[in-house]
Structure 1
Amino acid sequence: MVAFGKKLKETQIQEWQGYYINYKLLKKKVKQYTQQIEVGAQDPNYILKDFSRTLDKQIEKIVLFFLEQQGLLASRLSNLGEQYDALLRHADVSRVSELQEAYREVGRDLLRLLFFVEMNAIGLRKILKKFDKRFGYRFTNYYVKTRANHPYSQLRQVFRHVGIGAVVGAISRNLADLEDHQGSYISIYDRPAHPPLDHIIGSINAAVDRLTNSTNFLQYLGKHALIVQEELPTPSEDCVLEERYHFMSLLLNLVNTFLYMANTYIIVPTADNYTLSLGAAATVCGAVIGSMAVAQVFSSIYFSAWSNKSYLRPLVFSSVVLLVGNTLYALAYDLNSIYVLLIGRLCCGLGSARAVNRRYISDCVPLKMRMQASAGFVSASALGMACGPALASLLQTRFKLLNITFNEETLPGWFMALAWLVYLLWLWISFREPSRESKYNIASPGAKTGRLETGVLEESIAQPLLVSFEEEQHDDDGEEECDVSEESLEQTQKPVTSIVSAYRLLTPSVKVQLFVYFMLKYAMEIVLAESSVITTYYFIWSTSNVAIFLACLGLTVLPINIFVGSYVSNMFEERQVLLASEIMVCLGIILSFHVIVPYSVPQYVSSALITFVAAEVLEGVNLSLLSRVMSSRLSRGTYNGGLLSTEAGTLARVIADGTITLAGYWGMSRLLNVTLLPSLFICVSSIVATCFTYNSLY
């Protein structure tokens, strides 16, 4: 991978060269400001004003050229429209194909214009981050706050285009009307939703979506998987991925995801009764549920590392460990041992192969199918989360076989053990290990591929007010002020090799988003894990009632994501949805407290629903923003962004389950409020942290 400055120069359209952002000039200015402040020769306020004016001029140059080119395209479309009217009047079908090609040519020119804007948008984001790296994360906040929200904002023209839809619509409508086979529909406006009729329209729509961060349900759901894409792959790269792709292997990864999530939540409705039957307190269910998450903290790391060498072997190991773990969980009843119960759940956590499932999608699924596969990964997780408690409600029988007890407490363990056995056999027969050719070494680091970055920008390392001149020579983008070898450039783009290295790449924005993810997982775990204990104490609910309640919560996941992905995220900026969702989670937690009035079912159900649904909405926008602000070096390798988010979420579950167990020492009457207090504190802290970094999420 080459430095951005070099890539910008290589991909520039020559006749438009003077209208691109002058990235080299801006870098020199940042360097000059650094030297001036070091010797005390310049006032920081002057630097802010001077750099703001320079950026304003650069943005104005880009925007005015963009509007001028847009006008030229509109003029060409108007002329083509007149030609089309003449064609209809004279019924001259011989010119249809010629006119179609003319519309496609306009589409190709529009695509070039969109790539022009995209490269400038990336350059603008990069220079803002570079400035913040040198001067303590202050400028972006000021610049975005004063420019992006102003009614005459030219900054928004770079990121939120107006008028493009009209041009795309004109091209699409006329190309559709020129098609020979229109079926029974009068025009495209009467047709049901369908894929674009012409390849060029699909390419334009994809480019607009990248620039404006527009989304639909499938894309929004896929973002939950946090499979980060740093740039468009070359054709040769996608061909390699086509060779590695195997549908049955992908399906087995998704089934593994579903079974693991079902395994996690199938015991929640009965865990308190199980611990009581073994002579422990009901609140020990927190430790039983959380022990799986404790083990997952460690398993995520070794499974992520293992997936660098193989996909089949870790999946086989995962299935065997989960088979053993569920068997131990079920046998704990007859052995009358709480320790066997905990060991069984620890084994289940050690079998968490979600890192492998995610890596398989990232490494082995072609780009054109990756969003669907990512959405399948998230859907499988959501379905497993809902099916787990639902299965528990069906396993309500009691009998003995060979002196082994089968009842509502042990049947979840036996059922999942059988499921993992069947899965293991299916895996062994059908999984195909892909070749280990690295998809990142297809082209040489310095090759002129002409690829365009698509929004995942290189993130700088958090620094003091100023960095030294030596550090300036080699910055976070892998760019150097002097010429360097291709090998050294490649080194700066290699995946990180340790947790410490990954942590150093976490800027304040990334840290805050990981903290938000921690918060939402903590709040969700409190709601889910203590539901059985709380509802039994206050409302005397049966196991079936608890299971149905939890299943209903799980079933809200997909409908909520459809609504947010298709409508809300296109009406509001993601950072706005993020902050609003955090406030709603906070409101749900506040409504959950038992104060003076008797605690009622409507209060509990409504507050739990608000908390859970708001956390689900929050998860989508949080991971989407995280993928944008996270360093592209964290998009691959063992210590990737997906692993970091998984670790943050798993740690949240561990602490939440531990809180439930510890809160049991204060008695059942205080359990609810004692567990909600940390949730409220963490939620308020995340809202405050989000406000401090709000403008850096632009």
Structure 2
Amino acid sequence: MVGFGKKLRESQIQEWKGYYFNYKLMKKKVKRYLEQMEVGAQNRHNVLRDFSVLLDTQIEKIVLFLLEQQGVLAHRLCDLAQEHHSLLQQPNNSNISELQEAYREVGRDLLRLLHFLEMNAIGLRKILKKFDKRLGYKFTDYYVKTRANHPYSQLRQVFRHVGIGAVVGVLSHSFADLHDLKLCQGSYISIYDQPSYTHQDPILESIKLAVDRLSNSTSFLQFLGRRAFIVQNEQLPSSPKDQIIMDDQFHFMSLLLNLANTFLYMVNTYIIVPTADNYSLNLGAAASVCGVVIGSMAVAQVFSSVYFSAWSNRSYLRPLIFSSIVLLIGNTLYALAYDLNSLPVLLIGRLFCGLGSARAVNRRYISDCVPSKLRMQASAGFVSASALGMACGPALAWLLQKDFRIFNLTMNQDTLPGWVMALAWLIYLLWLWICFKDPTNNKNEGILVSYQSNNAGPEIHVAVEDEQTQPLLMNTAESKQQENEDDEEENPDKETQKPITSIVAAYKLLTPSVKVQLYVYFMLKYAMEIVLAESSLVTEYYFIWSTSNVAIFLACLGLTVLPVNIVVGNYISNIFEERQVLLGSEIMVCIGLVLSFQAVIPYSVPQYVGSALITFVSAEVLEGVNLSLLSRVMSSRLSRGTFNGGLLSTEAGTLARVIADGTITIAGYFGQSQLLNTTLLPALFFCISSILATCYTYNSLY
């Protein structure tokens, strides 16, 4: 596996070679500091000061070159503006096309500059992580705090692409003018009156995507896609032709079936929430046992996530078939428990449903089998399917308020969710068997991708290899020469690119910032589960709500997911930094939990509905920014393999649900009058501690 330093050198624009972040030099410095610290030749203060100066020098070199190149582009645009003005006086289609191509050439050079800037930003982030990991310091926290918040910060200029917007603005209105001039012969309209003109030329779309990647600007689609947490750690930016997954290998129906599995599973999870307490009572148990009934599915999911993640290394169709069969059995047992009058059968049915959780397969399929140009849309589809399933589950429970018998089997509000889901999984299984196409396994084949850079320059060849794959071109002399050129740290890099093989090894890679983000994820899932799972108990005790009222309330909560993400993705995340949104969302979750407590005054419907809405919506916002930040601070070794970052986050969230549902059941034994406050206390503790932990690692989330 090629190390980052080598990838960086291979992807450099040769004429700009001397202006890149010197990742190799900085790695050598980190190694030397480590050796000097071990023998006592350096102290902590001198190391921090020396490395800070080196970073400042590297960043200053990048920023000055960036300003210089922006000046070159500005000068070229000034020359083109004169031609543009002359052309407006005497329009000529041939000259218009030539001028459009000249503007496109400037756009391509701007893309090269953004490519240069993005690679440097990635190199800077990686060396900061490496320094913290090797020397055990919180250097990133110190460096970002002292540099990024300074009024003359050059660090901020690397990540905020200062001046790029002006160049993009000139290109946008120039393309709009020429486009309209070519069609209407002079009767053009300003882009400020017709904003859609800014997207007329494809080069502007490419620039917009590059700027968004660099600044972490988001749209609704991107924000939803990040929430899927299909881990894609920072990689070197590449040409659109750098497609490891070829379009002709992509099977849309298989993707649709994968998303259908996601939707049905979420429906299956939440369809029983409004009726679980009533079902428990009908089987002779306490109403609070609904926490165990709901949580048993999550208990099984803790284990199923691991074996499904491992299984997806070899196949996607087989685990999805297995998942459907197990869920079919689980829902059938859940429905039969009523006529058998057996609580154990009910719990076994829910355990089977949890053992059929194939969300690890759903994520891996999108990550591995969907072309990169469609991956963001597919990721957003994964989140949307989950959100719709979460809303449809309670809504479907509301529609199933019936009571009749078929072949001596009872069909009522308790059993119908099981029978309906069993039928749904049977139909899905047949559809899956007929239409799903397992992708060709190319994991043991090396792929050579070639592409030409946007501007004149050498053709770049990238060998994408598995650990067991031999290089496509072997030249012993060249190989040895390259090994001599690389510093000794490259060998550990090769080792660190291998996927993790155990949960213990994965845990050892978790830095403090990653641990805090996983804890935040645990907290928000715990808070959401408390709100959802105990809703039927709380509302029946305080407000005497019927099952229909609870189902409608939960469905309405689920329907807030997509609108909230529209607001956050399109507006909030583009106004504030993600870490600011993260901290603000945690505080809002805390406020929602505090408002949920039963105080001296009588508990009212507005208080409950308002506090639940604040808690749930804030947790939804928090989940998006939390997973986005987690994907950036997590080690690249956790981006693939069985024990990947997606599995860790899933396990953290599932564990939170298990503990929350267990808390509800335990609290129920103290009486329903104490249930609400007893379950909210741990949630409030987790929330306050997560806020403190976030403040502790705040600057490492840069």
Q: Same fold (TM over 0.5)?
A: yes
Check whether the contact 2:19–2:62 (CA below 8 A) recurs between aligned residues: yes
| Residue correspondence of structure 1 range 205-354 to structure 2 within 5 A | 205-230=208-233, 231=235, 238=243, 240-354=245-359
The separation in 2 between residues aligned to 1:233 and 1:631, in whole angstroms, is 21
Deviation of 1:651 after TM superposition, in Å, equals: 0.7
Please give the per-residue CA displacement for 1:93-122, whole angstroms capped at 9, x wherever unaligned: 321111111111111111111111112111
Q: Partner amino acid for 1:203?
A: S
SS at match of 1:279: coil
For residues 482 and 219 of structure 1, what CA distance do their matches in structure 2 show? 39
Residue aligning to 2:588: 584
* Deviation of 1:46 (Å): 2.6
In structure 2, distance between residues paired with 1:11 and 1:282: 62
Distance in 1 (CA, whole Å) between partners of 2:444 and 2:390 is 33
Q: Within 5 A, what are the aligned runs for 1:195-594? A: 196-230=199-233, 231=235, 238=243, 240-438=245-443, 441-443=446-448, 449=460, 481-482=487-488, 490-594=494-598
SS of match in other structure, 2:176:
helix
CA distance in 2, matches of 1:181, 1:69: 33
Inter-partner Cα distance in structure 1 for 2:435 and 2:192: 45
Distance 1:76 1:45 in 2: 47
Cα distance between partner residues in 2 of 1:571 and 1:646: 29
Match of 1:405, SS state, is strand
**Separation of aligned partners in 2, 1:333 and 1:182:** 73
The answer for the alignment partner of 1:44 in structure 2 is: 44
CA shift digits 1:593-629 (9 cap, x unpaired): 1121111111111110010000000000000001111
Q: Residues 118 and 639 of structure 1: is their aligned pair in 2 closer, same or farther, counting only changes over 3 Å?
A: same
Q: Which segment is superposed worse, 185-194 or 575-584?
A: 185-194
C-alpha distance in 2 between matches for 1:519 and 1:185: 55
Which structure 2 residues correspond to residues 31-70 of structure 1 after superposition, within 5 A? 31-70=31-70
Q: Is the 8 A contact 2:172 2:197 kept in 1?
A: no
**Partners of 1:235 and 1:204 in 2: CA distance:** 12
Equivalent pair of 2:3/2:490 in contact (CA under 8 Å): no
Q: Structure 1 unaligned runs (5+)?
A: 454-478
Q: Which amino acid aligns with 2:69?
A: Q
Distance 1:133 1:187 in 2: 52
Stretch of structure 1 that moved more, 301-310 or 192-201: 192-201
Q: How far did residue 377 of structure 1 move?
A: 0.4
- The AA in structure 2 aligned to 1:680 is L
Deviates more, 1:201-210 or 1:513-522: 201-210
Secondary structure (helix, strand or coil) at the match of 2:669 reads helix
Matched, 1:644 2:677: no
Q: Does 1:697 align with 2:701?
A: yes
- For 2:405, what is the secondary structure of its paired residue? strand
Q: Are the equivalent residues in 2 in contact too, given 1:589–1:676 (CA < 8 A)?
A: yes
Separation in 2 of the partners of 1:233 and 1:452? 13
Cα distance between partner residues in 2 of 1:193 and 1:86: 25
Q: In structure 2, the residue corresponding to 1:238 is in which secondary structure?
A: coil
Q: Does the residue aligned with 1:178 lie in a helix, a strand or coil?
A: helix
Q: Distance in 2 between matches of 1:646 and 1:61?
A: 42
Classify the secondary structure of the residue corresponding to 2:246: helix
- In structure 2, what is the Cα distance between the partners aligned to 1:9 and 1:234? 16
Post-superposition shift, 1:345? 0.5
Q: CA deviation at 1:90?
A: 2.0
Give CA-to-partner distance per residue, 1:281-315, whole Å, 9 cap, x none.
00000000000001111111111111112111111
> TM-score if structure 1 supplies the norm length?
0.92
Per the TM alignment, residue 426 of structure 1 is displaced from its structure 2 partner at its CA by 1.2
Alignment RMSD, CA only?
A: 2.4
Deviation at 1:190, TM superposition (A): 3.6
SS of match in other structure, 1:595: coil
Gaps of 5+ in 2: 450-457, 465-484
* 1:137 counterpart residue number: 137
Structure-2 separation of matches of 1:128 and 1:484: 17
User: Match for residue 469 of structure 1?
Assistant: none
| 312-321 or 367-376: bigger deviation | 312-321
Name the amino acid aligned to 1:5. Answer: G
Asked if structure 1 preserves the Cα contact closer than 8 Å seen for 2:448 and 2:461, the reply is no
**TM-score after normalising by structure 2:** 0.91
Contact preservation (8 Å) 1:10, 1:448? no
Deviation at 1:247, TM superposition (A): 0.8
Contact 2:524–2:623 at 8 Å: present in 1 too? yes
- Cα deviation per residue 1:537-590 (whole Å; 9 max; x = unaligned)? 011000000000000000000000000000010111101100111111111111
**Who is 2:114 aligned against?**
114
Cα deviation code 1:382-421 (max 9, x no counterpart): 0000000011111111111221111111111111111111
Q: How many Å separate the matches in 1 of 2:77 and 2:339? A: 78
Displacement after TM superposition at 1:491 (Å) = 4.5
Does structure 2 conserve the Cα–Cα contact (< 8 Å) formed by 1:236 and 1:442? Answer: no
Match of 1:476 in 2: none
Name the counterpart of 2:476.
Answer: none
Return 502-511 or 247-256, whichever deviates more. 502-511
2:160 aligned with 1:156: no
Q: Distance in 2 between matches of 1:609 and 1:152?
A: 42
How far apart in 2 are the matches of 1:98 and 1:8? 35
Give the letter for the 1:405 counterpart: T
Question: 1:42 Cα deviation (Å)?
Answer: 3.1
Deviations 1:212-255 (A, max 9, x none): 11110000001111112243577776264323211111111111
Report the counterpart of residue 608 of structure 2 in structure 1: 604
Instruction: State the Cα distance separating 1:152 from its structure 2 match.
Output: 1.2
TM-aligned CA deviation for residue 438 of structure 1: 2.5
Q: Deviations over 1:131-180 (max 9, x none)?
A: 21233232111110111111111110000122212211211221233233
Provide the aligned length of Structure 1 versus Structure 2: 670
Mark the CA change 1:443 to 1:182 in structure 2 (over 3 Å): closer, same or farther.
farther
Q: Report which stretch shifted further, 376-385 or 189-198.
A: 189-198
The alpha-carbon deviation at position 685 of structure 1 amounts to: 1.2
Contact 2:522 2:655 survives alignment (8 Å): yes
The answer (yes or no) to whether the contact 2:297–2:355 under 8 Å persists in 1 is: yes
Instruction: State how far apart, in whole Å, the 2-side matches of 1:93 and 1:405 are.
Output: 76
Letter in 1 for 2:380: A
Structure-2 change in CA distance of 1:182 and 1:636 (3 Å): farther
Question: Quick one: structure 1 residues 153 and 483, their matched pair in 2 at CA, closer, same or farther if it must change by over 3 Å?
Answer: closer
The 1-side partners of 2:193 and 2:433 are apart by 49
> In the aligned structure 2, how far is the partner of 1:236 from the partner of 1:161?
25
Q: Which residue of 1 aligns with 2:4?
A: 4
Partner of 1:400, secondary structure, is strand
Contact 2:176 2:197 in 1 (8 A): no
- Report the residue type matching 1:654 in the other structure: V
Cα distance in 2, alignment partners of residues 61 and 26 from structure 1: 14
**How many Å separate the matches in 2 of 1:216 and 1:560?**
13
1:649 and 1:531 map into 2 onto residues whose CA distance is 19
